[in-house]
């Protein structure tokens, strides 16, 4: 009996040692997973100071653990986001649900780059239930969200283009008849008569409607076409020569700087002029009748692209309107002065060439020096004979 007891005791001791070993191995595995995860894993204490900063956090934000341990995560929040409000929102979600899952917001990296992140956060407590800190798993979803937005825009452009084409054709025929009869009726009246003035108004409004139809048709065709090549310098110079003596640029100074050695780019020359004309019109409108400057520049980048920029010192685009800039039918102009399709058309055409459109704008309200203006940057790939516009869009 004594021997049996010794055997049981020895077995229990070995089992206890094995369990401790397994627990130790699990702790090591867990520590390794957390340390080497490609997602950022950050542990905060109850004062929101960083106590753990893994390899994924360094990859995501650019800071080493030595730089971040003991600091507040507030330094990762962009300056235009209210830090207290952001912290209160996260804490409130943790209190209400016991965790935060898939909270999407902005953060800023060491080099000042803004990224979109997906945050999941859980609290951990002491044995007596006291809150002692939290763990956050943060994923950089900038590329994912950009891709989703691109797909959403493509679907939106395709559906609106189809609708626009049908509507435009239905409206165009009666407009042509109205304009034709208005022109015939003018022959019956003296140019100084009230009837002539009325017919002139009919023509002006019908032409405005016709312009909307033309924009609709252009919009519906912006995703169609075959691969073409364009001399950007020639396209720009032809357009600026044409408009230099028109009322379009009568009140602004047009400054053009296009190097002679630009390579050919993807795109149709007339479409390039159409895009450029839309941007110039917007710049002139942003001057609100004041004397201003519109600069048109182009240069080849190091990665086989050509960048065309249109810059003005107009009133700028308010922050709350920036997300709507490329939306079809969005306009800040008075009724009858714009269709809201110009920038949407630009967006569709540039995408068809395999390019991209970006802009930066500031108003006097959001600039420290009191200056305002907008820069549109059109990036176009160097001509590729095998480029397929259908694939690009």
pLDDT digits (tens, 9 = 90+) for 101-113: 888 999 999 988 9
CA separation, residue 317 to residues 166, 216, 292, 308, 327 (Å): 32, 24, 16, 20, 14
* Region of 69 on the Ramachandran plot (φ > 0 left; ψ -120 to 50 alpha; else beta): beta
Low pLDDT (below 70) residues in the chain:
1-36, 153-154, 156-166, 169, 212, 215-227, 245-249, 289, 329-340, 366-370, 385-393
Crossing angle for the helix pair 342-352 and 142-186, nearest 10 degrees?
120
Where does 226-393 sit in CATH, by number?
3.30.565.10
Residue range 142-221 forms a domain whose CATH class is mainly alpha
pLDDT the model gives residue 62:
92
Q: State if pTM tops 0.75.
A: no
Where does 38-140 sit in CATH, by number?
3.30.450.20
Percentage above 70 pLDDT, the chain: 75
Domain spans of the chain?
1-36, 38-140, 142-221, 226-393
Which residues does residue 114 pair with via DSSP β-bridges, in sequence order? 108
Full DSSP string of 8-50? HHHHHHHHHHHHHHHHHHHHHHHHHHHHH-SSEEEEEETTSBE
Q: Calculate the CA 139 to chain-centre distance.
A: 20
pLDDT the model gives residue 4:
45
* Region of 370 on the Ramachandran plot (φ > 0 left; ψ -120 to 50 alpha; else beta): left
């Amino acid at each position: 009996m004594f021997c049996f007891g010794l055997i049981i005791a020895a077995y229990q001791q070995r089992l206890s040692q094995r369990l401790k070993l397994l627990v130790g191995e699990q702790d090591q595995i867990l520590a390794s997973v957390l340390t080497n995860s490609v997602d950022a894993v950050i542990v905060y204490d109850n004062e929101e100071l960083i106590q753990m900063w893994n390899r994924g956090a360094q990859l995501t934000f650019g800071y080493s653990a030595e730089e971040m341990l003991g600091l507040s995560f507030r330094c990762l929040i962009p300056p235009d986001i209210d830090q207290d409000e952001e912290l209160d929102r996260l804490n409130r979600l943790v209190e209400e649900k016991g965790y935060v899952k898939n909270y999407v917001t902005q953060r800023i990296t060491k080099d000042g780059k803004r990224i979109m992140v997906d945050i999941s956060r859980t609290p951990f407590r002491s044995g007596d239930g006291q809150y002692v800190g939290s763990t956050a798993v943060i994923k950089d979803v900038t590329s994912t969200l950009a891709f989703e937005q691109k797909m959403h825009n493509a679907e939106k452009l395709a559906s609106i283009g189809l609708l626009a084409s049908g509507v435009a054709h239905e409206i165009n025929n009666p407009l042509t008849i109205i304009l034709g009869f208005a022109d015939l009726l003018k022959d019956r009246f003296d140019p100084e008569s009230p009837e002539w003035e009325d017919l002139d108004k009919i023509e002006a409004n019908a032409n405005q409607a016709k312009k909307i139809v033309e924009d609709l048709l252009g919009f519906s065709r912006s995703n169609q076409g075959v691969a073409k090549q364009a001399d950007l310098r020639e396209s720009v110079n032809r357009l600026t020569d044409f408009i230099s003596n028109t009322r379009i640029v009568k009140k602004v100074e047009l400054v053009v700087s296009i190097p002679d050695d630009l390579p050919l780019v993807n795109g149709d020359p007339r479409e390039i002029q159409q895009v450029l004309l839309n941007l110039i019109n917007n710049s002139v409108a942003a001057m609100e009748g004041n004397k201003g400057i519109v600069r048109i520049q182009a240069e080849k980048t190091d990665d086989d692209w050509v960048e065309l920029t249109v810059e003005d010192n107009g009133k700028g685009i308010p922050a709350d309107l920036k997300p709507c800039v490329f939306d079809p039918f969005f306009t800040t102009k008075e009724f009858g002065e714009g269709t809201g399709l110009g920038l949407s058309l630009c967006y569709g055409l540039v995408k068809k060439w395999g390019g991209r459109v970006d802009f930066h704008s500031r108003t006097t309200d959001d600039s420290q020096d009191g200056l305002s203006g907008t820069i549109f940057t059109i990036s176009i790939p160097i001509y590729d004979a095998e480029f397929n516009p259908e694939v690009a869009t």
